[in-house]
Amino acid sequence: MTFDYIIVGAGSAGCVLANRLTENADAHVLLLEAGGPDRKQEIHVPVAFGKLFKTPLDWAYHTEEQPQMNNRRLYWPRGKMLGGSSSMNAMVYMRGHRSDYDEWRAFGLEGWGYDDVLPYFRKAENQERGASAYHGANGPLCVSDLRSVSPLTRAFVTAGTETGLPINEDFNGAEQEGVGLCQVTQRRGKRHSAAAAYLKPALRRPNLSVFTHAHVTRVLIESARAVGVEFIRDGRKEQARARGEVILSGGAINSPQLLILSGVGPADHLRALGIPVVADLPGVGHNLQDHLFVAVAYECLRPISLAAAESKRNILKYLLFRKGPLTSNVAEGAAFVKTDNALPAPDLQFHFGPTYYIEHGFVQPEGHGFSIGPVLIRPKSRGSICLRSSDPLEPPLIQPNYFEAEADLRTLVAGVKLARRMARAKAFDAYRGDERFPGADAQSDEALTEFVRNTAETLYHPVGTCKMGADETAVVDARLRVRGVENLRVVDASAMPVIVGGNTNAPTIMIAEKGADLIMSER
């Protein structure tokens, strides 16, 4: 089997690439996905995504023990299906702050400043509100307002204004700070994943081949040139050859894992695993960054939370009209706040949900509740991905080093205090019951710090492990080409040199849109 391009991973980036590269009828593309199709109903009903966790559609990773989190091992869900994590995320459409991309450009990454990447955000977007200077209306990805906003979420927005935050009707517009409702990647009340937006329309093209349940085990590299991939499908090893390029789009965990398995990475690590060194790139797997969040949760005095989302009445409302609580993305409201006015951009994001945010939804206390979740969006801690062995089917070792930088812990404690202020605002008086977490007894900074150590979880945004740059730790250059190996690129969230201040799905799609242009410009 020989193709012009082989794309590894049918997640957010891979689906974009499969669509854009096959717009050229002369380009024959193979897309390989380790997981299966995206047929399961819980993928498409927005509120149900938590039911996909720890199923065959989830890689279900765990970190190493975190010394600064009382040696907890954190669960990291990642989508293992067409659409990848865009098929099981909370659908929040958020781009980050203008300064995020200008910082990338300041690293010497020409073409990655905010003014450079805005056209790619607009190109991707089919904005329900119409086109504007900041938004596109003709792209594949539907970006919509929530169809049925909880009264609890509206109370959160009002509470934010009562604590001094401005209303923000567009977090992806001129300003990021403030409080408001999230926009979501939905189409008429259903999830609009990268698979639905980009891959499904491209499947009609004869120059696109898609193999599911195809686990890529290594990139075939000859004379420092990528020439294909080896993968396991139906229990058998197979190979596919590339006339043009091999493009890794496995994300911040799988892309560095595959590079190392292929002999591209830190030489000492490769030798320890018995893997021949093809290219000594010490940065592969390093620079891991993620957003942590913690939940401040309250009992709700009225039966209006998502605990009742699956009532017969709500199921009927969804089936007939695609409205009601089943269209909720769970994280309906948001706020962006600076803990210090001297900061150039917000360092805290808040996600509000008309439900309990506890252990990824696996724990649901009796009755109704709501949660305000402060998110650390500018972490200073850095971690790594490396291999336990040369077995490509063994999960890699994930060490995020959460709270290695003490400033990260202090910022989240400040977020808990601000979340409490919002919860005590007048807007919540009709709804607010007892504080379940941290609880009335946790008042001192020491108690709140321990609460954060014991309960903080990932917000599912790992990035940075194949970072763009020009220094000795960079893995790819500004054109996303792997250093030291021809015809090999990494196009996904792992290329981010610094994590963006907001949810990472929209930026990943942007990276792939720009990456497709870079690839085709060299054809």
Q: How many CB atoms lie within 10 A of CB 333?
A: 26
Q: How far apart are CA 465 and CA 265, in angstroms?
A: 11
| DSSP letter string, 66-110 | BGGGTTB--EE--B-BTTGGGGTS--B-----HHHHHHHHHTT-T
**Structure-block tokens of residue 134:** 């900041």
Q: What is the DSSP letter of 484?
A: T
Say which of 192, 269, 291, 461 is annotated catalytic.
461
Assess whether the previous peptide bond of 282 is cis (omega < 30° from 0): no
| DSSP letter string, 21-54 | HTTSTT--EEEE-SSB-S--HHHHSGGGGGGGTT
For 227-274, where are the alpha helices, taking DSSP H only? 251-261, 267-273
**Sign (positive/negative) of CA torsion 83, 89, 91, 94?**
negative
Phi, psi of 111 (to 5 degrees): 90, 0
The kind and range of the H/E element at 337 are strand 333-337
Residues contacting 192, CB < 8 A, separation 6+: 91, 141, 142, 144, 185, 186
Q: How far apart are CA 27 and CA 243, in angstroms?
A: 10
CB 409 within 8 Å of CB 292: no
For 127-278, where are the alpha helices, taking DSSP H only? 151-162, 194, 200-202, 251-261, 267-273
Which residue, among 95, 206, 76, 79, has the nearest Cα to 141 in the 3D structure?
Answer: 95
**Structure-block tokens of residue 87:** 């098929």
Q: How far apart are CA 93 and CA 97, in angstroms?
A: 13
Q: How far apart are CA 399 and CA 386, in angstroms?
A: 8
**Catalytic residue status for 461:** yes
**Structure-block tokens of residue 43:** 């993928």
Q: How far apart are CA 502 and CA 461, in angstroms?
A: 9
Q: How far apart are CA 61 and CA 503, in angstroms?
A: 20
Phi, psi of 380 (to 5 degrees): -95, -20
By the 10 Å C-beta count (0-12 exposed, 13-18 middle, 19+ buried), 154 is classed as: middle
Which residues are identified as catalytic? Answer: 461
